[in-house]
Structure 1
Amino acid sequence: MRLLVKFCSGFLLFFLISFSAKSQLKNQRIIEASYESGPLVSNGKEWADEVKDLVSYRGIDVRFGWRKVSSDYYAQLYRYPTYGLGFTMAIPYYSEIGRPQSIYAFGEFPFSRKRMERKFNFSYFGQIGLGFNLNPYDSLDNPLNQYIGSEVNAYVQLGLKANYQISKRIDLFSTLGLKHYSNGSTRKPNAGINLIPLSLGMRYRLEPATLPKESEQAALPPRLSKNFLDISFSGGIKNYVIEEPSYFRGGMGLTYLRDGGVKYRYGVGLDVFYAGGLDRRFPDEVFELRDKFSLAVIAAWEWKLNERLYVPIAFGAYIHRNEINQESTWFYERIGIRYRFFDQLFGGFQIKAHKVKADFFEFTVGYRFSELHN
């Protein structure tokens, strides 16, 4: 869990530095504050319904961001998105789940180039960060909360936003989204806390709202047809049984990718996974090496947010799997965030899941062999 805290904190810090380092580009800085309220979502079990009835979420959210309005073609491609950092917290303390708080990085993307110049416009957003100050499951002190087994968790929110511009500097807005807290099975139980808050808030621009004129817009680069080969190594922690030790989970991947344009890449690959601690989990049994490894083929897709930051998405099908390692279905899903350093090196983290149920968090480093042929 300390590894999760250090990695996510470091990634958020790097996110801030990497974007702030481009301050020579034209940015519009913004500050937002909002109040939000909404229900906790039950998974239908009796204990979950009881917690849901006891928790009526109310919270606040504060964000600092910057909207790049330069001639950068990725800024234009995504209709001048806003990136930044934020902090959210529940106002009351709930004895069942604690007072959830999180620090996060976010991106907000307008739906339409034409509508974003009007007073009333819409956008969609994503937030990813570190959640903390939760009251986890404890068989003696908090047996009702089987949603979460750790105080520190990953935090994600996806949502929609409606904006109304009052002046060149002030907007009113409302959002509706899904907040999710999960530790990726580093400590069970891990059903995950899901909240659906509706918010009302205000945005203040430190610089007046302006957009580049048509003559200032850069031409998009030509469609590329490059091919890449990624080799990656991942590691994480997985807990198999409530209140028992957690063990190493990791593996490596080999992925062949083709550049599908300025927004995405696609490809196929192989994943190999290793499950540590099998002999300690079942000390009275004898295992072979193949019981600790699994093999899968994947279909991969990458959404490029800019030249270095991207979202990896994959669907995998096992060739060989071990249900004793809680590989419960013949397929799995993966989504995360990665950043490319020095052209070839990359790092990031993903969530691997079976039917949207977390298997483990993967902290990944890798190397990209680029331009194999055109």
Structure 2
Amino acid sequence: MRVWLLVFFAFFSSNVFAQRAAQPWVLGAYANGGFIIAHSPLMQHLAVSHPTGFELNVQKQTTGKKAWHQLYQFPKVGYSLVYFHYHNPKLGRSVAASTYINKTLWRARKGELNYRLGLGMAYLTEGYDQETNHKNSVASSALNATLQTRFEYDYRLAPHYSLLLGLGLNHYSNGATKKPNLGLNIPTLTFGVNFHTVPAFITETKTLPEFDPKLFYTLSTTAGWRQIGPLDTKKYLVQSVSFSVAKPLNRKSNLVLGAEAFFDRSLKVQQQTDTTLTGKPFPDTKKLGIFLGHELGFGDLALETQVGFYAYRPYKNGTPYYERLGLKYHFTPEIFTALDLKIHGFAADVLEYRLGYKF
């Protein structure tokens, strides 16, 4: 670990970054330690080790060139590489790359408290295998989505160097595209060092765009694929169509109310092995849902959170409610796409790819 830190800072704190015309970047190297949450009885046997690892970060300090920089009091936008050793041969190791927003909650002369939220992709070296690793119930695919959230306190030791202490949560899941997929949840304590290319940054203030409180509407469709279980490796298509109305709350966020129809091909296959339906006609597998959501915008990008319930659900499988977490991106003011994770309770249901139109 010490070798990594020395190599990292010897390179990045060289004259390339310390020159007088340097941009406001923050370069960091951290050590992580934590534990695995046993959020299901099916993974109690895996939550016995304490993962350790390291993390490398590159963050750019926003200065106000875009309107959302000023709206969020000039956050940092960063990229991270996170390595974990799980000290358990059934879980192996992981490497995750993600991008994130780091927002300052409180700032003093030498220290600041930040909140960080990031999304990305992770590679896990050991996954479920019926023959060689059947006790790994948390991950069955090498590639997984990762979510990282963390509170950080950054204290300046010198104009260009600071110490960081953080408390966070790392989550890994493949979105039920392959099962079993209970997912990994790892609370972590983080300690590290940051190098600041400039001791202080200069902000630009601009006239913000006028707030438009008018309602707007969206029409969208999604597609995703899910696996029923580890013994059935076929991927089944899951689709939805939704309509929503949104009310802007301020320049940063919208309140959303919508309705949607779901078409899950895997449910028809599940019915054939459902003993509660023996001798009975199979009920309709289509679902109709109503949801309430929130969008938090960062320019053309928005973080989506939703909670909904099924108003029509003849085939009673899973929970009667659902949640959704996603990232939405506007190619134009009207056309957008999104990547959403739909969840039933604590279990991923499907990873959705969305295309929509705003009017």
TM-score range, shorter chain: 0.7 to 0.9
Aligned-pair CA distance for 1:248: 1.0
Match of 2:323 among 326, 333, 346: 333
Assess, with a 3 A threshold, how the Cα gap between structure 1 residues 131 and 275 changes in structure 2: closer, same or farther.
same
Equivalent positions of 1:157-168 (< 5 A) are: 157-168=148-159
Select the residue among 41, 45, 63 that pairs with 2:57. 63
Q: Deviation of residue 139 (structure 1)?
A: 2.5
- Please give the alpha-carbon distance, in whole angstroms, between the structure 1 residues aligned to 2:52 and 2:357: 44
Q: Which residue is 1:100 aligned to?
A: 94
Residue 19 of structure 2 corresponds to residue 28 of structure 1: no
Task: Give how far 1:30 is off.
Answer: 2.2
Per the alignment, residue 16 of structure 1 pairs with none
Letter aligned with residue 45 of structure 2: E
- 1:151 deviation in Å? 1.5
User: Does the 8 Å contact 1:264/1:304 carry over to 2?
Assistant: yes
Gaps of at least 5 residues in structure 1 are 1-25, 370-374
TM-score of the superposition, structure 2-length normalised?
A: 0.85
Give the one of 306, 313, 325 matched to 1:321.
Answer: 313
State the shift of 1:211 in Å.
3.5
> How many Å separate the matches in 2 of 1:27 and 1:346?
32
Match among 88, 106, 122 for residue 82 of structure 2: 88
Matches of 1:209 and 1:286, distance apart in 2: 73
The 1:29/1:289 distance shift into structure 2, 3 A limit, reads farther
What RMSD in Å do the two structures reach over aligned CA positions? 2.4
The one-letter code sitting in structure 1 at the alignment partner of 2:135 is: L
Post-superposition offset of 1:44: 5.4
Match of 1:6 in 2: none
2:287 to 294, 304, 317: 294
The 1:248/1:178 distance shift into structure 2, 3 A limit, reads same
Alignment correspondent of 1:304:
297
Distance 1:363 1:40 in 2: 29
Q: What runs of 5+ residues in structure 2 fail to find an aligned partner?
A: 1-21
Report the counterpart of residue 246 of structure 2 in structure 1.
257
Aligned to 1:366: 356
Could you tell me which residue of structure 2 aligns to residue 351 of structure 1?
341
Deviation at 1:147, TM superposition (A): 1.4
Whole-angstrom CA distance in 1 between matches of 2:135 and 2:91: 9
Partner residue in 2 for 1:41 = 37
Q: 266-275 vs 203-212, which deviates more?
A: 203-212
Instruction: Name the CA shift for 1:356/1:283 in 2 (closer, same or farther; >3 Å).
Output: closer
Match of 1:3 in 2: none
Return the letter of the residue paired with 2:28: E
Is 1:160–1:175's contact at 8 Å kept on the other side of the alignment?
A: yes
In the alignment, the residues of structure 2 paired with residue 266 and residue 290 of structure 1 have an alpha-carbon distance, to the nearest angstrom, of 34
Mark the CA change 1:323 to 1:118 in structure 2 (over 3 Å): closer, same or farther.
Answer: farther
2:197 — aligned with what? 206
Q: Does 1:342 align with 2:332?
A: yes
* Secondary structure of 2:45 counterpart: helix
Distance in 1 (alpha carbons) for counterparts of 2:137 and 2:229: 13
**Other structure's SS at 2:213 match:** coil
- Give the whole-Å Cα distance in 2 for the aligned partners of 1:64 and 1:101: 16
The within-5 A match list for 1:222-261 is 222-244=210-232, 245-261=234-250
The secondary structure found in structure 2 opposite 1:166 is strand
> Could you tell me how far apart the structure 2 residues matched to 1:27 and 1:240 are?
50
Contact conserved, 2:285 with 2:313, CA < 8 A, in 1? no
Tell me the alpha carbon deviations over residues 189-214 of structure 1, each in whole angstroms, 9 at most, x when there is no partner. Answer: 111111111111111123342233xx
Aligned residues: 333
SS at structure 1 position matched to 2:202 = coil
Residue 268 of structure 1 is matched in structure 2 by 257
The partner residue of 1:137 within 121, 128, 132 is 128
Tell me the SS of whatever aligns to 1:74. helix
The residue matched to 1:291 in structure 2 has which SS?
coil
1:75 is paired with a residue whose SS is helix
**Percent of aligned pairs with the same residue?**
23
Cα deviations by residue, 1:286-311 (Å, 9 ceiling, x for unpaired)? 99997242111111211112x21111
- Residues 194 and 249 of structure 1: CA distance in aligned 2, closer, same or farther (over 3 Å): same
Q: Secondary structure at the residue paired with 1:241?
A: coil
330 and 49 in structure 1: CA distance in 2 versus 1, 3 angstrom threshold: closer
* Secondary structure in structure 1 of the residue aligned to 2:47: helix
User: Over residues 281-336 of structure 1, what are the superposed CA-to-partner deviations in whole Å (9 max), with x where a residue is unaligned?
Assistant: 5569999997242111111211112x211111212121112546x4x122111111
After TM superposition, the runs of 4+ consecutive aligned structure 1 residues lying more than 3 A away are: 91-94, 219-223, 277-290
